[in-house]
């Protein structure tokens, strides 16, 4: 689960700080939905740093993939999902484009599992 802290800057942007603990994905998704509602209601922009590709896609309008150290911007993905219902982190995972974004970003990370 991702327990998030939201810091609102003087410029009206939010920085989401995540701490991970092991609990249910259902609770994590519910928390993500609540954070999304708060940011939308307040009209704030959030900068979220995560290692979870699904979380990044489901919660973002834009995903920036960084390279290994020293980090540089490797790619930027504008996330556009087709949904028949309101977009939330939970409903985003049902969009037909979700799997494409996930697979594309996964390949860009150059993770080699032995």
Ranges of residues in the chain with a pLDDT under 70 are 1-28, 112-114
Domain annotation covers residue 114:
no
Domain annotation covers residue 113:
no
Domain annotation covers residue 60:
yes
Dump pLDDT digits (tens) for 41-57: 888 777 888 888 988 89
Name the domain count of the chain.
1
Domain annotation covers residue 93:
yes
Domain annotation covers residue 89:
yes
Domain annotation covers residue 29:
yes
Domain that holds residue 61: 2-108
pLDDT at 10: 43
Question: Which pTM was predicted?
Answer: 0.71
pLDDT at 2: 41
pLDDT at 51: 82
Domain annotation covers residue 98:
yes
**What one-character DSSP code corresponds to residue 17?**
E
CA gap 88, 33 in Å, rounded: 6
Domain annotation covers residue 66:
yes
Which stretches does DSSP call E strand in 1-114?
2-8, 13-20, 45-48, 62-66, 73-78
CA gap 9, 7 in Å, rounded: 6
């Amino acid at each position: 689960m991702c327990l998030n802290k939201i810091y609102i800057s003087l410029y009206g942007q939010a920085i989401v700080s995540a701490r991970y603990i092991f609990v249910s994905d259902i609770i994590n998704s519910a928390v993500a939905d609540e954070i999304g509602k708060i940011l939308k209601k307040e009209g704030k922009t959030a900068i979220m740093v995560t290692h979870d590709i699904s979380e990044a896609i489901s919660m973002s309008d834009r995903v920036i993939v960084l390279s290994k150290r020293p980090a540089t911007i490797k790619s930027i993905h504008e996330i556009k999902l087709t949904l028949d219902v309101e977009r939330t982190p939970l409903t985003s995972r049902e969009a037909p484009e979700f799997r494409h974004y996930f697979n594309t970003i996964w390949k860009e990370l150059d993770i080699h599992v032995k």
